[in-house]
Amino acid sequence: MATNAGINLVRRMRRNRGTPSIRSLVRETVLRTEDLIQPLFVRSGEGDPDPVASMPGVVRHTVTTLAEECRKVAGLGIPAVALFPRIEPSLKDSTGTHATDPANVLFAAIRAVKKAVPGLTLIVDVALDPYTDHGHDGILDGKGSIENDSTVEALSRLAVAQAEAGADIVAPSDMMDGRVRAIRTALDAAGHQGVSILAYSAKYASAFYGPFRDAVGSGEVSAPLDKRTYQMDPANVREAVLEVQLDEQEGADMVMVKPAGPYLDVVRAIREATDLPLAAYQVSGEYAQIHAAAKLGWLDYVSTRDEALLAIKRAGADMILTYFAAEVAESLR
Ligand code: PBG
């Protein structure tokens, strides 16, 4: 027989979930537009931007359309963009010499964005993979391994050239040892004390970068790219803390964990290990997964997108690089 008394519970957790207004009072994490960084791709030439097949809604901009897009992104209240070039295959070689060629489209793009939207923070990736014909982030020695120290020198020159063109933040994504200190020293020597370093400190050798490699063309090589001798083993988390500690000692202004969604424990561990601002990169594969499942009708697009981003914030990220940035900012308005 049912009674009104029911079971005798001191704490009924559902009381705090009963209405939208109560849920909003007790909500612990809120995703804001100010947390978001929009990654953008740029190529040389004119015409319409070309779509990236494996990343619906993402395009490779021309310098002209990039500047327009940055105006739009800034207008939505997004504080920063992260810029990646797609280089013509004919300009690539084994050491990535085009990186510091004044004709590199990246420098024109940096100048155009700074001119169009001076207040938008411009983050530029420091790595050689867009420029090497083998697609690696560094210089290959004769035996097929990536040379650390000569790569660090090349990266330092690239970072200085990016700062010269107007980058606000340079973001080494290469995972070479000692690159943060070398880049800091080179920037300071060139008078760029005000340019920040966002270190990709815990960047894993992840299969989730596949669509990005299509976007920048670093995957256009015969064998699948194996970056495990420099990017981190997905099995490790203590090693990520060591990487962050080193980058902090070397002068990083901010640190990053990448990818984000499958590495939330790493985001949490780094949050607890450093007081530096922490970025997490929701990478191309995380973006493509949500799009693909939604297209098949297997997941709800908007709610999975928003939940994935909220989870990254909850894990401890101060800022999130995400291809969803502009559309999420629009929905937060
Ligand atoms: C290259 C770089 C990569 C990404 C950002 N910078 C790919 C890689 O290391 O092969 C991945 C971004 C993404 O997947 O969205 N230095």
Residue by residue, what is the 3-state secondary structure of 211-261?
HHHHHHCCCCCCCCCCCCCCCECCCCCHHHHHHHHHHHHHCCCEEEEECCH
Q: Does residue 14 form part of some domain?
A: no
Residues of the chain with pLDDT > 70: what percent? 98
CA distance linking residue 289 with residue 150, whole number of Å: 36
Q: Is 75 domain-assigned?
A: yes
Task: Look at residue 17 and tell me if it is in a domain.
Answer: no
Residue 292 vs residues 57, 202, 216, 329: alpha-carbon distances, Å: 12, 27, 20, 22
Q: What is the predicted pLDDT for the residue at 223?
A: 64
Radius of gyration of the chain (CA): 21
Judge whether 52 and 214 are in contact, CB under 8 Å: yes
Pocket of ligand 1 (CB under 6 A): 125, 127, 129, 137, 173-174, 209, 212-213, 218, 283-284
CA distance 155 to 161: 10
pTM summary value:
0.96
pLDDT per residue as tens digits for the range 282-321: 999 999 999 999 999 999 999 999 999 999 999 999 999 9
Across the range 266-272, mean pLDDT stands at 98
203 is catalytic: yes
Domain that holds residue 68: 31-332
What's the gap in Å between 130 CA and the centre of ligand 1? 10
In the 8-state DSSP scheme, what is residue 188?
H
Q: Please, which residues bridge with residue 40 across strands?
A: 83
Model confidence over 148-198: pLDDT tens digits? Answer: 999 999 999 999 999 999 999 999 999 999 999 999 999 999 999 999 999
Please report, for the domain that includes residue 64, its CATH number.
3.20.20.70
Q: Is 15 among the domain residues? A: no
At 4 the pLDDT is: 73
Residue 20 lies in a domain: no
Tell whether 204 is covered by a domain.
yes
Label residue 3 by pLDDT band (50, 70, 90). low
Q: How far is the CA of 1 from the centre of ligand 1 (A)?
A: 63
Considering the candidates 203, 227, 295, 313, report the single residue annotated as catalytic: 203
User: Is residue 230, in this structure, part of any structural domain at all?
Assistant: yes
Domain total in the chain: 1
In a domain, 5, yes or no: no
